[in-house]
Amino acid sequence: MTADGAGIDPALSVDLVREPDFWLGTLQVRPSMCQVVRDGHSIDLQPKIMQVLVVLARAQGRAVSREELFAICWGGAFVGDDSVHRCIARLRRLAQEETPGAFSIVTQSKVGYRLVVDDLADVGTTLEEASDFDTAMPSERRAGAIRGHGFILGVAAMLLLGLIAAVVAFTRPTQSVYRIAVANFKVEGVGGEIGDSLADRVAAAVSDRHLPIVTRVRSSRGDFNGAHYIVGGDIQRIGDQTKVHIQLDDALSGLTLWTDTITRATSDSDALQDQVAEKVADLMDLTRRWLGPNGNSAKPEAIAALLTATDTMRGMPGTILQTREAFRRFRDLDPDSSKAHSGFAMATALSSFSQTPDTSAQWRTEAVAEARRAIALDPNNGEGYTVLGLLTSAKDLATRETWFSRGLAADPNDDNLPNFLGVFLLEVGRVGEAVIWIDRSVNLDPLSSPKAQSMIDALSTADRFSEADRLIARADRLWPDDVQMRRTILFRSLLYAQPAQALEVLDRFQHADKPLPVDRALIWRAFEKARAGEHSDAEVEKRLAAVSSNSDAGLSSLGADELGASIAALASLGDKEDAFRIIDLARTMHINVKPSVLFEPATRSLRSDPRFLRLASGLGLVQYWALARRKPDFCTQQSTSTVCS
């Protein structure tokens, strides 16, 4: 193992997105979702811990050394033994407390760790390594054969790792613009061990995003081994809250490039450390993607602007104007970067939707020019095509889809394009395909709150709320302060969770930042009572319709998510008259109503109404379905709609 880290052969590395599901006894392991499932109950694991579990399962009962784990899961980067110990400790807690009897992890003295299940033949039966075995073989012989096969694989892996290390030693460049040093965090009012633990988690999380080199530094000052960036900070306990201040410095110039502060209850120390670690890793990974091959020549000031842009981008839509200004500065400091132009174009396009008509038109023109400049600099810049698609007229949906398709052809690995295409498909009623594309986007960028929100929306629209609920549990842990995520969770739960669960979500929302006005919260509480059969539907319909009226406190104050939920709620109660009236009123007032609301389970009654065809035609959907020669998904189940005839 080297302190600098080494590349790893793709055959040995663990790409969670592409890992197949497998079983450990009665426990189903789902690497791509970082989940284990037993008896229908799912448990989330951190990506690094899931990688370690996959490596141990692949070994088929053979002991795996710490060196192998470092090489395969951390790319050979030195992050300290604590990182491995933490992963093993978490897996043992999973085995002993959360899924007792499924498996255990044994420490093999002076060798490493072994994963043990009742029948070794059950381990990883869908993994590639196990595919050659005769399933008719008696279990005793089968287990012995697997152990022998695992030993051969282990020896081969060790020889291959040695060869890789030898080759990399001669071919690896001595410097990398992404070389990161992670220093201990200073502590005040808390135990010193949290500083070490947090630094280890940050180093592990950054390594998990496959950044080229990570150096773990055990002192707050000292030799950073030629690192370009230094991550550090301090941890304070104030009352029952713990506050972490994070700082990222440019090692050569000493310029502070980015800072942030994250605060959580002291009782949530473990979740706080994960949130900080994933935030740093996500930010560095996004920055690398934006800089690309220009990283070596980028000025520290440009990198600082980009870090601000990518950080605020995660907080959209509330920070979109800040994102736009940060990308403007990045573009001005790095005018030859295609990504700088497309980033500014995207932020400008998204900002334009909330401006006055004159400003909106001006910004849309500017965004189109910037997108075309980005494509001229790099024809494979998928984001440039995305912007052109977003700014295509809503009446020309076929052309919008064409721009998205061109972008995917130019850059099939872009993580944003599948999300935008998926949202588009939701809005034209192709819900099944939408789920597939958004799922791809989430897998490519698992720490994006907006993409997770899209997935929760898509699964709910596809009548798969139980799956959306699993994402909601993960979102509560990763983005507790994201108001827009909380609103997505709230209104999806109000429509599709069981009434008791929905009321719990509503109570939590009302006790957090930016709650609903009291009168609206009472109406939604009454709606849940109606769903549970404890209130009159007619009374709730009347109260919902009254809020969604043409007044200052009516439609314009709801927001697109609550407006859509109100329409869906009325339709679910059988009040088609008010549902259509509110949609027409919103369109008259130029208030955005997401077209996807028309294809949800709750609005099924609207689709069989003659007024649906008129509405779909006014939204450009009928023309799109004709040009694309694709009818919406609901036509396969609901032939009574005039659209489907």
Q: Please provide the DSSP assignment of 359-382 as one string.
A: HHHHHHHHHHHHHHHHHHH-TT-H
Average pLDDT over residues 6-14: 57
Overall residue count recorded for the chain in this entry:
645
149-158, 314-323, 388-397, 580-589, range with the lowest pLDDT = 149-158
As given in the structure block, the two tokens for residue 299 are: 């000025």
User: Tell me, what's the pLDDT at 178?
Assistant: 64
Q: How confident is the model at residue 290 (pLDDT cuts 50, 70, 90)?
A: confident
CA distance 328 to 309: 9
Q: Nearest 5°: CA angle at 219, between 215 and 85?
A: 65
User: Tell me, what's the pLDDT at 127?
Assistant: 39
CA distance 586 to 602: 19
pLDDT exceeds cutoff 90 at 541: no
As given in the structure block, the two tokens for residue 392 are: 């295509």
Q: How confident is the model at residue 170 (pLDDT cuts 50, 70, 90)?
A: very low
As given in the structure block, the two tokens for residue 336 are: 């030859």
Higher pLDDT, 3 or 397: 397
| Pairing, β 41-44 against β 35-38 | antiparallel
User: Tell me, what's the pLDDT at 5?
Assistant: 39
- The overall average pLDDT reported for the chain is 80
Average pLDDT over residues 455-482: 89
Contacts 24+ apart (CB under 8 A), 316-324: 316/350, 316/450, 316/484, 317/350, 317/354, 317/484, 318/483, 318/484, 320/347, 320/350, 320/351, 320/354, 321/351, 323/347, 324/348, 324/351
User: Tell me, what's the pLDDT at 79?
Assistant: 58
CA distance 608 to 327: 46
HSE of 175, CA atoms in CB hemisphere, 13 A: 8
115 DSSP 8-state letter: E
User: Tell me, what's the pLDDT at 143?
Assistant: 36
CA distance 71 to 6: 8
Q: How confident is the model at residue 353 (pLDDT cuts 50, 70, 90)?
A: confident
Angle between helix 449-461 and helix 483-496 axes, rounded to 10 deg: 10
Three-state DSSP state, 79: coil
Average pLDDT over residues 304-316: 79
Q: How confident is the model at residue 429 (pLDDT cuts 50, 70, 90)?
A: very high
CB within 8 Å of 434: residues ≥ 6 apart: 422, 423, 424, 425, 426, 458, 461, 462
**Tens digit of pLDDT for each residue in 188-199?**
877 777 888 888
Q: Nearest 5°: CA angle at 88, between 83 and 90?
A: 95
pLDDT exceeds cutoff 50 at 461: yes
**Tens digit of pLDDT for each residue in 550-564?**
454 577 788 889 999
Most confident among 77-81, 391-395, 501-505, 592-596 (mean pLDDT): 501-505
User: Tell me, what's the pLDDT at 315?
Assistant: 66
Average pLDDT over residues 102-117: 83
Higher pLDDT, 529 or 4: 529
Q: Which residues pair with 36 in a beta bridge?
A: 29, 43
Whole-Å CA distances, 421 to 309, 358, 451, 452: 23, 28, 12, 15
Angle between helix 47-58 and helix 193-208 axes, rounded to 10 deg: 70
Q: How confident is the model at residue 159 (pLDDT cuts 50, 70, 90)?
A: very low
User: Tell me, what's the pLDDT at 317?
Assistant: 61
User: Tell me, what's the pLDDT at 287?
Assistant: 80
Q: Which secondary structure element, helix H or strand E, spans residue 504, and what is its range?
A: helix 499-510
CB within 8 Å of 140: residues ≥ 6 apart: none
User: Tell me, what's the pLDDT at 350?
Assistant: 87
Average pLDDT over residues 324-338: 89
User: Tell me, what's the pLDDT at 216?
Assistant: 60
Contact (CB, 8 A) for 54 and 31: yes
CA distance 380 to 385: 9
Average pLDDT over residues 327-332: 90
Q: How confident is the model at residue 305 (pLDDT cuts 50, 70, 90)?
A: confident
pLDDT exceeds cutoff 60 at 223: no
Q: What's the CA dihedral at 296, 301, 303, 309 to 10 degrees?
A: -160
pLDDT exceeds cutoff 80 at 134: no
Higher pLDDT, 12 or 130: 12
Average pLDDT over residues 234-259: 89
User: Tell me, what's the pLDDT at 296?
Assistant: 65
What's the sign of the alpha-carbon dihedral 216, 221, 226, 230? positive
As given in the structure block, the two tokens for residue 285 are: 């990974």
pLDDT exceeds cutoff 60 at 3: no
Q: Which residues pair with 188 in a beta bridge?
A: 236
Most confident among 260-264, 371-375, 591-595 (mean pLDDT): 371-375
CB within 8 Å of 268: residues ≥ 6 apart: none
CA distance 230 to 179: 9
